[in-house]
Amino acid sequence: MAGLVGVFIYAGMKQDEKAGMRERLALLAALQAHESLIQQAMATSEDEKQVLTQLAAGDLARLHERFGRRLNEGFGLEFIYITDANGDVLYSSENGKPGERKAYAWIRPAVARALAEGRAGRAGLVASKDGAGILVARPFTERTDDIKAPQPLVAVTVDLLDDSLLQSLAAPAHLHDVQLRTGRGATNHPDRVGTAVPNLYDGTEAELAWRGAQPGRSLLRNALPALAVLTTLLSVTFLVMMFRAMRVAAVLAESEAQAREMASRDYLTGLFNRGYFIEALESALAGLASDQRLVLLFIDLDDFKLINDTAGHGAGDLLLKAVAGRIATAIGERGVVGRFGGDEFVAFFPAAHPGEIDEVLNRLRAELKPPVPDGAGEIRVSASIGVAEAPQDAVSASDLMRRADIALYRAKDTGGDTLCRFDTQLESERNARREIESALGGALERGELVISYQPQVDVVSGRVVGFETLLRWDHPRLGRLLPAQFIAMAEEMHIIAGLDLYGMRRACIEAAALPGMSISVNIAPATMKAPDFAEQVASILQETRFDPARLEIEVPETIVLNTAAELSRTFEALRTLGVGIALDDYGTGYASLHHVSRFPISRIKIDRSFTLKACTDPDVAAVIEHKLKLAQSLRINVTAEGVETREQLRFLRAIGMPTAQGYLFAPPLPIAAAIDMLRRQDETLQASAGGAARA
């Protein structure tokens, strides 16, 4: 009898353990689903460009109406903030009141911890003696130099985890009396079950506890009296109860499996989520055979934000689901596919040889090519893919993921719709790029930017008639950097306007020592498209007292393909100032002289790629001569760039090219060398004039 009772007690305890596990998984899944709903609410409510514009303008009232109030009243989020990259508040709303930030004192440690983790933001629980809630932090992808604060900015929301929210999260799992504790000990009572949850507030663990169902204990309460009384029916009762216990255990096992599956999946696509995917990757790497490879893919959809903005979030979700299915089909059953969030997909698969890897990658690209129908039409699909292999690229999950991410960014940098495999050169380039990027923002303040002057000469006489100014960066460790090494980066960081205007101001100041010379200054399209660009040029001319007729602004030829009214007004305003406009690298794009004739262009510059082939390719020579004659018919000056040989110079003289520049005449010079060049030219001219007079 005692042995039988012991068996029943043991069976009941095991049932209670399994029931507790099922309840834990269900509650954690509900918590994760609520975090995802908050992320969706934030994505729906925030327009990053609009938020940045309103912050820069200090229009916090409108920002509150369109962002904070919408999240508070529409989605019930109590605390909404926008912080800089250091966690300092730029905008706040607490319980619908703009400007309130009383609660931020206990929320800030969690924000700092969230910002330190993950490249796509972080969500989680924050709990302290002052309050508790579900925190979601989303870094902005947009940047602006109109806000003088460390970027990227971060949108932060907190949904207070009060008793009502706790019980609503627990309801789908049929849990009762759920409580949150910031310390251990909530489950000391025998009737309570609990689970630990990471606490973003201080990095410890909080605990969610509830009154457990405990089917085993209920079963024992009913069965033991019957066993004591009905000893004559011992064998029958034993068989019946064991059968019931087995049925309950089977149901619990099935529920547990379902809960585990739900907790490991991305709610939208059904793919594995970040946590499960990383665990699976670590396990696969640990069991990788010596003759096998494991291939990790990072996959980002190109222009996904644009699709969301133009076609709506419904179309974006439809696209994500379709792409998830296509990736899973291409990778096959031997691989694992996941979604880290947004448009970030990941996958890994084992391979025995390079041919097998190429086969899967080709299949993946073919699967992604067809457009996705969305009811109103079709959505074109393209993706950037980064590839890293174990063990040749890395042997740990963290290193392999970092290197696949490096390859992904190179694929995106090349224009998208590209697959890039990791190699060590990519990592070196990325480290160098990060070093340059971190130093570029302060290069102006530290006085590291200098101007070089490349002479422009009269082709017939060889006399210097002007200079093109070129920006150089004297990096304290890397030495002198050319524009190709940092200008594109400055455009991405939205600081190019500051560099361009500094270069123009510096050139106007220094060119006072180059009397009579025209001065060309390179300006990026983003700088010139600013509505007040012409006013800034006028201000620099007035400040430096530089003759506008000597200043020429060089822009890429592609800018004339933009027919925006604002750009036309800028061109006209510059012409009114007396400033010339030159099209740089002419001939490399799609702009024809028809496009040029619609704008007040004073000069076109034949790209060096044409000049270099002029003496070896008759077709190129004919193109140069044709462009020269057409430009002259429109009264537009022409300069040939990249002249390196006397043979090229003779050709340019023969066709009547008026001016040229290149290393045949001189490389870009510091201002002192440019002044000395003019001095020697003047001395030569004076000596020639004196000799002629004596003759």
Q: Which residues make beta-bridge pairs with 52? A: none
Q: Which residues make beta-bridge pairs with 497? A: none
What are 114's two structure tokens? 């969230």
272 DSSP 8-state letter: B
Q: Which residues make beta-bridge pairs with 481? A: 473
Edge-to-edge strand ranges of the sheet holding 131-139: 97-98, 89-94, 79-83, 154-160, 131-139, 122-128
The one-letter amino acid code at 132 reads: A
Residue of 282, 292, 365 whose CA lies nearest to 331 = 365
**Beta strand pairing status for 205-211 and 176-181?**
antiparallel
Report the C-alpha gap between 46 and 39 in whole angstroms: 11
Residue with tokens 């709303």: 93
What are 458's two structure tokens? 């009269």
DSSP for 370-385, please give it.
Answer: SPEE-SSSEE---EEE
Do 268 and 33 meet the contact criterion of CB atoms below 8 Å apart? no
Report the C-alpha gap between 527 and 495 in whole angstroms: 9
Longest dimension (CA), the chain: 146
| Residue 84 is a catalytic residue | no
> Among the options 343, 393, 417, 585, which is catalytic?
343
- Residue 599, SS3? coil
- Residue 682, SS3? helix
Report the C-alpha gap between 302 and 304 in whole angstroms: 6
What are 534's two structure tokens? 């012409």
529 DSSP 8-state letter: T
C-alpha 19 chain-centroid distance:
43
- What is the helix, strand, coil percentage profile of the chain, to 5? 50, 20, 25
68 DSSP 8-state letter: I
DSSP for 117-133, please give it.
Answer: S-TT-EEEEEEETTEEE
Report the C-alpha gap between 245 and 257 in whole angstroms: 18
Do 563 and 537 meet the contact criterion of CB atoms below 8 Å apart? no
- Residue 159, SS3? strand
Show which residues are catalytic.
Answer: 343
